[in-house]
Structure 1
Amino acid sequence: MGDNFIYISSRQVRWLIVLSFVFALILDSINIIGQNYLFLPPFTLLVLLYWAGHFLDYTYMGTAFAIGLFADTIYQNTLGVHALIYVVLTFAMLRHRLRFRGYTIWQQSLNIVGFCFIYQIMHLFTLAPKLDDQQQLAYWIMPLVGGVLWALIALSLNRLSQQNVTEN
Protein backbone atom coordinates (compact mmCIF):
# COMPACT_ATOMS: atom_id res chain seq x y z
CA MET A 1 0.00 0.00 0.00
CA GLY A 2 2.58 2.57 1.06
CA ASP A 3 5.04 1.79 -1.74
CA ASN A 4 2.64 3.15 -4.35
CA PHE A 5 3.02 6.70 -3.03
CA ILE A 6 6.78 7.03 -2.73
CA TYR A 7 7.22 8.87 -6.02
CA ILE A 8 3.97 10.87 -6.00
CA SER A 9 4.32 14.49 -5.02
CA SER A 10 1.38 16.43 -3.62
CA ARG A 11 1.94 18.97 -6.40
CA GLN A 12 1.08 16.32 -8.96
CA VAL A 13 -2.39 15.86 -7.45
CA ARG A 14 -3.04 19.42 -6.25
CA TRP A 15 -6.45 19.73 -7.91
CA LEU A 16 -7.51 16.36 -6.59
CA ILE A 17 -6.60 17.49 -3.09
CA VAL A 18 -8.61 20.71 -3.41
CA LEU A 19 -11.62 18.95 -4.93
CA SER A 20 -11.57 16.25 -2.26
CA PHE A 21 -11.64 18.91 0.47
CA VAL A 22 -14.52 20.74 -1.24
CA PHE A 23 -16.45 17.48 -1.59
CA ALA A 24 -15.75 16.61 2.07
CA LEU A 25 -17.01 20.02 3.21
CA ILE A 26 -20.19 19.46 1.21
CA LEU A 27 -20.65 16.05 2.87
CA ASP A 28 -20.02 17.61 6.28
CA SER A 29 -22.81 20.07 5.66
CA ILE A 30 -25.20 17.09 5.82
CA ASN A 31 -24.71 17.09 9.59
CA ILE A 32 -26.31 20.53 9.77
CA ILE A 33 -29.67 19.11 8.68
CA GLY A 34 -30.37 17.53 12.04
CA GLN A 35 -29.20 15.47 14.94
CA ASN A 36 -30.09 12.25 13.08
CA TYR A 37 -26.66 12.13 11.45
CA LEU A 38 -24.45 12.07 14.55
CA PHE A 39 -23.06 8.71 13.45
CA LEU A 40 -21.39 10.31 10.42
CA PRO A 41 -17.72 11.19 10.92
CA PRO A 42 -16.33 14.55 9.83
CA PHE A 43 -15.38 13.79 6.23
CA THR A 44 -12.99 16.73 6.17
CA LEU A 45 -11.03 15.12 8.98
CA LEU A 46 -10.86 11.80 7.14
CA VAL A 47 -9.68 13.47 3.93
CA LEU A 48 -7.20 15.60 5.86
CA LEU A 49 -5.76 12.54 7.59
CA TYR A 50 -5.54 10.74 4.25
CA TRP A 51 -3.51 13.48 2.57
CA ALA A 52 -1.35 14.10 5.64
CA GLY A 53 -0.64 10.40 6.00
CA HIS A 54 0.25 9.64 2.40
CA PHE A 55 2.42 12.53 1.23
CA LEU A 56 5.76 13.29 2.79
CA ASP A 57 6.47 16.59 1.01
CA TYR A 58 3.84 18.65 2.82
CA THR A 59 2.71 18.74 6.45
CA TYR A 60 -0.87 20.00 6.01
CA MET A 61 -0.82 21.87 9.35
CA GLY A 62 -1.95 25.13 7.73
CA THR A 63 -4.54 23.21 5.75
CA ALA A 64 -5.78 21.58 8.95
CA PHE A 65 -6.22 25.00 10.54
CA ALA A 66 -8.03 26.44 7.50
CA ILE A 67 -10.30 23.40 7.08
CA GLY A 68 -11.02 23.53 10.81
CA LEU A 69 -12.10 27.15 10.47
CA PHE A 70 -14.36 26.17 7.55
CA ALA A 71 -15.83 23.39 9.70
CA ASP A 72 -16.45 25.89 12.52
CA THR A 73 -18.34 28.17 10.15
CA ILE A 74 -20.36 25.26 8.72
CA TYR A 75 -21.34 23.97 12.17
CA GLN A 76 -21.71 27.53 13.54
CA ASN A 77 -19.47 26.75 16.49
CA THR A 78 -16.97 28.88 18.32
CA LEU A 79 -14.37 29.89 15.78
CA GLY A 80 -11.20 27.88 16.25
CA VAL A 81 -12.51 24.81 18.07
CA HIS A 82 -12.44 22.47 15.07
CA ALA A 83 -9.26 24.17 13.88
CA LEU A 84 -7.58 23.22 17.15
CA ILE A 85 -8.89 19.66 17.02
CA TYR A 86 -7.84 19.20 13.38
CA VAL A 87 -4.35 20.60 14.01
CA VAL A 88 -3.83 18.30 17.01
CA LEU A 89 -4.98 15.23 15.07
CA THR A 90 -2.93 16.17 12.02
CA PHE A 91 0.13 16.53 14.23
CA ALA A 92 -0.54 13.09 15.69
CA MET A 93 -0.82 11.68 12.15
CA LEU A 94 2.44 13.35 11.12
CA ARG A 95 4.20 11.76 14.07
CA HIS A 96 3.57 8.24 12.79
CA ARG A 97 2.72 8.62 9.11
CA LEU A 98 5.70 6.56 7.94
CA ARG A 99 4.37 3.53 9.81
CA PHE A 100 0.81 4.40 8.84
CA ARG A 101 1.65 4.32 5.14
CA GLY A 102 2.95 0.78 5.44
CA TYR A 103 -0.21 -0.57 7.07
CA THR A 104 -2.89 -2.40 5.15
CA ILE A 105 -6.22 -0.66 4.65
CA TRP A 106 -7.78 -2.49 7.59
CA GLN A 107 -4.91 -1.64 9.92
CA GLN A 108 -5.23 1.97 8.81
CA SER A 109 -8.97 1.78 9.53
CA LEU A 110 -8.25 0.68 13.09
CA ASN A 111 -5.92 3.65 13.51
CA ILE A 112 -8.60 5.96 12.11
CA VAL A 113 -11.06 4.57 14.67
CA GLY A 114 -8.59 5.75 17.31
CA PHE A 115 -8.25 9.18 15.67
CA CYS A 116 -12.04 9.54 15.48
CA PHE A 117 -12.38 8.49 19.11
CA ILE A 118 -9.87 11.16 20.12
CA TYR A 119 -11.86 13.62 17.97
CA GLN A 120 -15.05 12.69 19.82
CA ILE A 121 -13.43 13.15 23.23
CA MET A 122 -11.94 16.52 22.27
CA HIS A 123 -15.28 17.55 20.73
CA LEU A 124 -17.08 16.51 23.93
CA PHE A 125 -14.74 18.52 26.17
CA THR A 126 -14.62 21.65 24.02
CA LEU A 127 -18.23 21.93 22.83
CA ALA A 128 -20.12 19.83 25.43
CA PRO A 129 -23.04 18.80 23.22
CA LYS A 130 -26.35 18.05 24.92
CA LEU A 131 -27.33 14.52 23.91
CA ASP A 132 -30.20 12.26 24.94
CA ASP A 133 -29.78 8.47 25.24
CA GLN A 134 -30.44 7.70 21.57
CA GLN A 135 -28.12 10.47 20.40
CA GLN A 136 -25.35 9.28 22.71
CA LEU A 137 -25.31 5.90 20.99
CA ALA A 138 -25.02 7.55 17.58
CA TYR A 139 -22.39 9.95 18.93
CA TRP A 140 -20.13 7.20 20.26
CA ILE A 141 -20.61 4.86 17.29
CA MET A 142 -19.13 7.50 14.97
CA PRO A 143 -15.50 6.25 15.31
CA LEU A 144 -16.53 2.80 14.06
CA VAL A 145 -18.39 4.31 11.11
CA GLY A 146 -15.32 6.47 10.44
CA GLY A 147 -13.15 3.37 10.30
CA VAL A 148 -15.44 1.70 7.78
CA LEU A 149 -15.71 4.85 5.66
CA TRP A 150 -11.94 5.24 5.80
CA ALA A 151 -11.53 2.10 3.72
CA LEU A 152 -13.81 3.51 1.03
CA ILE A 153 -12.22 6.95 1.07
CA ALA A 154 -8.65 5.63 1.06
CA LEU A 155 -9.28 3.19 -1.77
CA SER A 156 -10.99 5.79 -3.94
CA LEU A 157 -8.37 8.49 -3.29
CA ASN A 158 -5.59 5.96 -3.93
CA ARG A 159 -7.10 5.09 -7.28
CA LEU A 160 -7.77 8.72 -8.25
CA SER A 161 -4.30 9.93 -7.29
CA GLN A 162 -2.60 7.11 -9.18
CA GLN A 163 -4.73 7.78 -12.26
CA ASN A 164 -3.98 11.49 -12.06
CA VAL A 165 -0.22 10.85 -11.93
CA THR A 166 -0.24 8.42 -14.83
CA GLU A 167 -2.22 10.88 -16.98
CA ASN A 168 0.31 13.70 -16.38
Structure 2
Amino acid sequence: MGDNFIYISSRQVRWLIILSFVIALVLDSINLIGASYQFLPPFTLLVLLYWSGHFLDYTYISTAFVIGLLADTLYQTTLGMHALIYVTLTFTMLRHRLHFRGYSVIQQALNIIVFMFIFQVLHLLILSPTLDDNEMIQFWSMPVVSAFLWLIFAKLLNLLTQQNAIEN
Protein backbone atom coordinates (compact mmCIF):
# COMPACT_ATOMS: atom_id res chain seq x y z
CA MET A 1 0.00 0.00 0.00
CA GLY A 2 1.08 3.55 -0.58
CA ASP A 3 2.30 5.67 2.28
CA ASN A 4 0.35 8.72 1.18
CA PHE A 5 -3.08 8.05 2.67
CA ILE A 6 -2.74 10.98 5.03
CA TYR A 7 -5.36 13.46 3.91
CA ILE A 8 -3.63 16.66 2.95
CA SER A 9 -5.44 19.48 1.23
CA SER A 10 -3.81 20.97 -1.84
CA ARG A 11 -4.21 24.38 -0.21
CA GLN A 12 -1.78 23.34 2.51
CA VAL A 13 0.98 22.81 -0.07
CA ARG A 14 0.02 25.42 -2.69
CA TRP A 15 3.49 27.00 -2.81
CA LEU A 16 5.12 23.60 -3.12
CA ILE A 17 2.87 22.80 -6.08
CA ILE A 18 3.67 26.08 -7.82
CA LEU A 19 7.39 25.73 -7.10
CA SER A 20 7.44 22.16 -8.43
CA PHE A 21 5.81 23.27 -11.70
CA VAL A 22 8.32 26.11 -12.11
CA ILE A 23 11.25 23.74 -11.52
CA ALA A 24 9.71 21.23 -13.94
CA LEU A 25 9.40 23.92 -16.62
CA VAL A 26 13.07 24.78 -16.13
CA LEU A 27 13.99 21.09 -16.43
CA ASP A 28 11.86 20.83 -19.58
CA SER A 29 13.95 23.55 -21.16
CA ILE A 30 16.87 21.10 -21.07
CA ASN A 31 15.19 19.28 -23.98
CA LEU A 32 15.68 22.41 -26.08
CA ILE A 33 19.47 22.18 -25.90
CA GLY A 34 19.72 19.41 -28.45
CA ALA A 35 18.11 16.39 -30.00
CA SER A 36 20.34 14.10 -27.95
CA TYR A 37 17.97 14.48 -24.97
CA GLN A 38 14.98 12.67 -26.53
CA PHE A 39 15.05 10.15 -23.68
CA LEU A 40 14.10 12.78 -21.08
CA PRO A 41 10.39 12.87 -20.25
CA PRO A 42 8.38 16.05 -19.99
CA PHE A 43 8.99 16.86 -16.34
CA THR A 44 5.91 19.06 -16.18
CA LEU A 45 3.79 16.07 -17.13
CA LEU A 46 5.42 13.96 -14.42
CA VAL A 47 4.73 16.65 -11.81
CA LEU A 48 1.19 17.12 -13.14
CA LEU A 49 0.51 13.39 -12.89
CA TYR A 50 1.89 13.34 -9.37
CA TRP A 51 -0.29 16.18 -8.08
CA SER A 52 -3.43 15.02 -9.89
CA GLY A 53 -2.93 11.49 -8.62
CA HIS A 54 -2.34 12.35 -4.99
CA PHE A 55 -4.85 15.10 -4.16
CA LEU A 56 -8.57 14.45 -4.19
CA ASP A 57 -9.76 18.02 -3.63
CA TYR A 58 -8.71 19.44 -7.00
CA THR A 59 -8.96 18.05 -10.53
CA TYR A 60 -6.00 19.81 -12.20
CA ILE A 61 -7.69 19.82 -15.63
CA SER A 62 -7.33 23.59 -15.96
CA THR A 63 -3.76 23.32 -14.69
CA ALA A 64 -3.06 20.66 -17.32
CA PHE A 65 -4.40 22.97 -20.01
CA VAL A 66 -2.26 25.92 -18.88
CA ILE A 67 0.86 23.79 -18.45
CA GLY A 68 0.21 22.29 -21.89
CA LEU A 69 0.01 25.77 -23.41
CA LEU A 70 3.28 26.66 -21.69
CA ALA A 71 4.83 23.49 -23.13
CA ASP A 72 3.56 24.49 -26.58
CA THR A 73 5.23 27.88 -26.30
CA LEU A 74 8.40 26.33 -24.87
CA TYR A 75 8.73 23.76 -27.68
CA GLN A 76 7.31 26.15 -30.33
CA THR A 77 4.65 23.72 -31.48
CA THR A 78 1.11 24.44 -32.62
CA LEU A 79 -0.71 26.10 -29.76
CA GLY A 80 -2.96 23.61 -27.97
CA MET A 81 -1.36 20.34 -29.04
CA HIS A 82 0.51 19.66 -25.80
CA ALA A 83 -2.46 21.06 -23.92
CA LEU A 84 -4.69 18.46 -25.56
CA ILE A 85 -2.29 15.65 -24.68
CA TYR A 86 -1.83 16.86 -21.08
CA VAL A 87 -5.58 17.24 -20.51
CA THR A 88 -6.20 13.76 -21.92
CA LEU A 89 -3.57 12.17 -19.68
CA THR A 90 -4.73 14.14 -16.64
CA PHE A 91 -8.31 13.03 -17.22
CA THR A 92 -7.11 9.43 -17.45
CA MET A 93 -5.18 9.86 -14.19
CA LEU A 94 -8.26 11.33 -12.51
CA ARG A 95 -10.28 8.28 -13.51
CA HIS A 96 -7.72 5.99 -11.85
CA ARG A 97 -6.30 8.12 -9.05
CA LEU A 98 -7.97 6.28 -6.18
CA HIS A 99 -6.28 3.07 -7.27
CA PHE A 100 -3.09 4.93 -8.13
CA ARG A 101 -2.85 6.45 -4.65
CA GLY A 102 -2.98 3.01 -3.07
CA TYR A 103 -0.13 1.60 -5.12
CA SER A 104 3.42 1.41 -3.89
CA VAL A 105 5.91 3.71 -5.58
CA ILE A 106 7.20 0.88 -7.75
CA GLN A 107 3.67 0.03 -8.93
CA GLN A 108 3.09 3.72 -9.60
CA ALA A 109 6.27 3.79 -11.69
CA LEU A 110 4.96 0.90 -13.77
CA ASN A 111 1.74 2.85 -14.34
CA ILE A 112 3.80 5.90 -15.31
CA ILE A 113 5.42 3.80 -18.05
CA VAL A 114 1.93 3.27 -19.49
CA PHE A 115 1.05 6.97 -19.19
CA MET A 116 4.29 8.05 -20.86
CA PHE A 117 3.89 5.45 -23.59
CA ILE A 118 0.44 6.91 -24.31
CA PHE A 119 2.07 10.36 -24.32
CA GLN A 120 4.66 9.19 -26.85
CA VAL A 121 2.02 7.64 -29.11
CA LEU A 122 -0.14 10.79 -28.97
CA HIS A 123 2.95 12.94 -29.48
CA LEU A 124 3.90 10.89 -32.52
CA LEU A 125 0.38 10.99 -33.98
CA ILE A 126 -0.42 14.64 -33.29
CA LEU A 127 2.93 16.39 -33.61
CA SER A 128 4.66 13.83 -35.88
CA PRO A 129 8.30 14.60 -35.10
CA THR A 130 10.92 13.62 -37.64
CA LEU A 131 13.22 11.03 -36.09
CA ASP A 132 16.11 9.12 -37.56
CA ASP A 133 17.07 5.60 -36.43
CA ASN A 134 19.33 6.77 -33.59
CA GLU A 135 16.71 9.18 -32.18
CA MET A 136 13.97 6.55 -32.48
CA ILE A 137 15.59 4.41 -29.78
CA GLN A 138 15.85 7.40 -27.44
CA PHE A 139 12.29 8.47 -28.26
CA TRP A 140 10.78 5.10 -27.33
CA SER A 141 13.02 4.62 -24.27
CA MET A 142 11.53 7.73 -22.62
CA PRO A 143 8.72 5.84 -20.78
CA VAL A 144 11.25 3.60 -19.04
CA VAL A 145 13.44 6.57 -18.09
CA SER A 146 10.37 8.35 -16.75
CA ALA A 147 9.63 5.38 -14.47
CA PHE A 148 13.08 5.68 -12.90
CA LEU A 149 12.63 9.43 -12.53
CA TRP A 150 9.19 8.82 -11.00
CA LEU A 151 10.81 6.87 -8.17
CA ILE A 152 12.89 9.94 -7.32
CA PHE A 153 10.10 12.48 -7.89
CA ALA A 154 7.49 10.59 -5.91
CA LYS A 155 9.73 10.00 -2.91
CA LEU A 156 10.92 13.61 -2.88
CA LEU A 157 7.46 15.13 -3.33
CA ASN A 158 5.93 12.76 -0.75
CA LEU A 159 8.55 13.83 1.75
CA LEU A 160 8.15 17.55 1.01
CA THR A 161 4.34 17.34 1.03
CA GLN A 162 4.17 15.58 4.38
CA GLN A 163 6.79 17.89 5.85
CA ASN A 164 4.98 21.00 4.62
CA ALA A 165 1.59 19.74 5.84
CA ILE A 166 2.97 19.12 9.33
CA GLU A 167 4.32 22.68 9.48
CA ASN A 168 0.96 24.17 8.46
TM category (shorter chain) comes to over 0.9
Question: Could you give the per-residue CA deviations for residues 89-131 of structure 1, whole angstroms, max 9, x where no partner exists?
Answer: 0000000100000000000000000000000000000111111
**Match of residue 44 from structure 2:** 44
Aligned identity (percent) is 69
Q: Is the 8 A contact 2:3 2:104 kept in 1?
A: no
Q: Is the 8 A contact 2:2 2:105 kept in 1?
A: no
**Deviation (angstroms), 1:2:** 4.0
Unaligned runs of 5+ in 1: none
**Match of residue 100 from structure 1:** 100
> SS at 1:156's partner residue?
helix
1:31 lines up with 2:31 in the alignment: yes
Give the stretch that moved more between structures: 34-43 or 2-11: 2-11
Question: How large is the RMSD of aligned CA atoms in angstroms?
Answer: 0.9
- Give distance in 2, aligned partners of 1:165 and 1:110: 27
- Give distance in 2, aligned partners of 1:74 and 1:34: 14
TM-score, length-scaled by structure 1? 0.98
**Match of residue 150 from structure 2:** 150
**Deviation (angstroms), 1:3:** 5.2
TM-score, length-scaled by structure 2? 0.98
Shift >6 Å, 4+ stretches: none
Unaligned runs of 5+ in 2: none
**Deviation (angstroms), 1:16:** 0.1
- Give distance in 1, aligned partners of 2:90 and 2:12: 21
